[in-house]
Structure 1
C-alpha cells in the first residue's frame, strides 16, 4: 500500500519532470511560431529575405556563427557575394535577427526611408560608440535624426 509520503514524492517528481519538459518545449514552440508567422508575412506583399543554405529549423544559423568566429568577416562577405546583392537574414539563438546588406542602394534605402525599421539597439550602439564615438553611425532615433539633418544641410 502506498503511504502519503511516497505519493507526495511521486507527485513532486512528476511536477519537476513536467516543469523541465516545459522549459525545453516552450522555447522551441515559440521559435516555430515566430518562424511560421514570418513565412506567412512574406505572402502579404513583402518579399522573403534570403537565408543561408545551412540555416537549421530551430537553431537558425547559430552553429554557423559559432563555427565561423575566426573568419567571420570573410564568411559574411561570402554570404553577401552568394546572395548577389540581395539582403541576407542571419538568425542565432540569444541574439536579435541580423540583416546583411551589401549594395549601396540597400544602404541608402535603409538610411533614408526605413531607418526606424532597423534600430541598432542598445548593445550594438554601445559597441559602435566605443569605436566611432557619438557619430551618426553609432546612434539611434533622435540623435540620428538630428545628425542626419545637420549632415544633409
Structure 2
C-alpha cells in the first residue's frame, strides 16, 4: 500500500524530510533492538561517546540535540546495562561525565554493522552517485562538514 502524498504541490520539503527520517528511524530502531538496545537513540549516545569522550552530560545532550531529562534516562539505561559508566569531573565533583565501557564499544560496533545493512536496504533503489549526492546534500542542509571518507559512503 502506497502512502498518500500531501495535497500541496509541489510536495513540501519538510513533510518529505520528516517522512524519510521516520522511515529511517523505524528501520534503525529495529536494528538497535536486535542488539538489546531500547532503540537507535541508545546507539547514537554510544557512538557519540566513542568519537569524543570527556563531555559532560549537558554538553553531550546539546551536541546530540537531546534534552537533559531524556539524556539522563538514556544514560541511566545504558549504565544499568554496563555499557556506560559515569565518572566525576576532576574540575567539578558535582559534574558527571559519561564514558563508554568496553562492552559498550563492542555493542556500538555490532549495532553499527546492522545499521549499515539497514541503511543499504533503504537506499538500495539509489545508485552510488545518488547515495553520495543525498548524503552530501543532507550534510550541507544540516550544516555539518563532511568527515574524511564519508563522501563515498
- Normalising by structure 1, report the TM-score: 0.30
Instruction: Pick the structure with greater CA Rg.
Output: 1
Of structures 1 and 2, the one scoring higher in RCO (CA 8 A, sep 6+) is 2
- Normalising by structure 2, report the TM-score: 0.30
